Amino acid sequence: MADGTGGAKGGGGDQDGRAGGGDRDHGFGLYVHWPFCLSKCPYCDFNSHVASGPVDAERWAKALESEIFRLGRDTGQRVLGSVFFGGGTPSLMAPEVVDRVLRAAERVWSFAGDIEVTLEANPTSVEAGRFAAYAAAGVNRVSLGVQALRDADLRQLGRLHDARQARAALDVARERFDRVSFDLILARQGQTPAAWREELGEALTLAADHLSLYQLTIEEGTVFAARRAAGHLRGLPDEDRAAELWSVTQELTEAAGYAAYEVSNHALPGAESRHNLVYWRCGDYAAVGPGGHGRLTLEGRRWATEAIRAPGAWLEAVERDGCAEGPREELGPEEQRAELLLMGLRLREGVSLARLGALGGAALEDRIAELESLGMIRRGQGRLSVTDAGRPLLDAVLRGILGA
């Protein structure tokens, strides 16, 4: 999908709600996972499935409503700042299902006056045709899984749309929604810095207020992983070429005013994804739908939640048992500290040193000091953040702090 929490994505938004390490003071959101796709992209390792037949919209709407009501009984009355429909391909959802989910959420929690409601979408003409109905249901932000603006690359990525359809869908989205994001994958097979400079420059002329620019990663269990193991995935950039592509990305987005507020996400001032900020700032979020991951602070204790992954089994569990969630895992201070760093250091703003200290951050002092001396991280104004030199090496920085 698109502007999620890292890695290359398929449809147009953020992934299945993985994050952590926080409390009730850093936002509250709802993640809704729609698991169905028309096809499985060869790079995708998300919980997505090609439906074998028609999806019973009424059954799914009832089940999603039921899970929202159940979670509402756990959380009590809270102010909901964001809703995110991810997947899978949420733009395959019947608009009436979207409407019913939002009405259920509004019954359970109070909606913030400026609530952000995002739906991930594929840029095909059929799905773009539903945009007006989604907007009428209450969606006010769409995230389009464009992935590339070159037809040959789209075919390599297994996408079902072409560049013309992507541009047309962006035109429709800008007409229907106040806020529009789309994502592109870089470090593709055979991609040169010059070609990426041209393509990204074009993308910036099409952009509304937000861009997610993910480096292609080859995840275990995907078709691309199998192709690479067999020697058939040729032309992937080496580290030097990937670094060049990163530099081009930072140069062009910064010049166009799209600040890199997160390592892979760029926005005009004030247009940051509020829902994803809940993840990265380690706030609370409820999750419904197959495989949805959540984080909830209940009576001062931090819990990780995860739903049954298989769509059929999830639906049957809701209907049979009134719950499709597995056993909750309580997160102790050390686990919360690790999640705070893993998520928060993705942000340019970094993490609060006071918050880190409350979770036992003093135990990491020697590692932090060493990376600080190397110019990879900095401390200032009460925060710990990654420097410009450290950002392209974020994974290594995190390993250095966490000792992984």
Quick: pLDDT tens for 136-162: 999 999 999 999 999 999 999 888 899
Domain CATH number, residue 398: 1.10.10.10
Task: Please give the residue range of the domain that contains residue 210.
Answer: 28-279
Residue 20 lies in a domain: no
CA distance 58 to 258: 41
- Looking at the fold, whether 359 and 271 belong to one and the same domain comes out as no
Residue 118 lies in a domain: yes
Q: Averaged over 78-104, what is the pLDDT? A: 96
DSSP 8-class letter at 403 = T
Residue 34 lies in a domain: yes
Helices (H), 138-288: 151-156, 163-176, 193-206, 223-229, 239-255, 274-280
The tokens describing 109, both together, are 């929690």
% of the chain exceeding 90 in pLDDT: 79
Residue 13 lies in a domain: no
Q: Is the pLDDT of residue 399 over 60?
A: yes
Domain ends where: 247, 279, 311? 279
Strands 301-306 and 293-298: antiparallel
Indicate the number of domains in the chain: 2
Domain ends where: 262, 279, 296? 279
CA distance 149 to 57: 33
- Looking at the fold, whether 113 and 206 belong to one and the same domain comes out as yes
Quick: pLDDT tens for 293-346: 999 999 999 999 999 999 999 999 999 999 999 999 999 999 999 999 999 999
CA distance 324 to 316: 8
CB neighbour burial string for 61-74, b if at least 16 within 10 angstroms, e if fewer: bbbbbbbbebbbee
Domain ends where: 240, 264, 279? 279
What crossing angle do the helices spanning 95-108 and 57-75 adopt, rounded to 10°? 20
CA distance 302 to 65: 24
Residue 16 lies in a domain: no
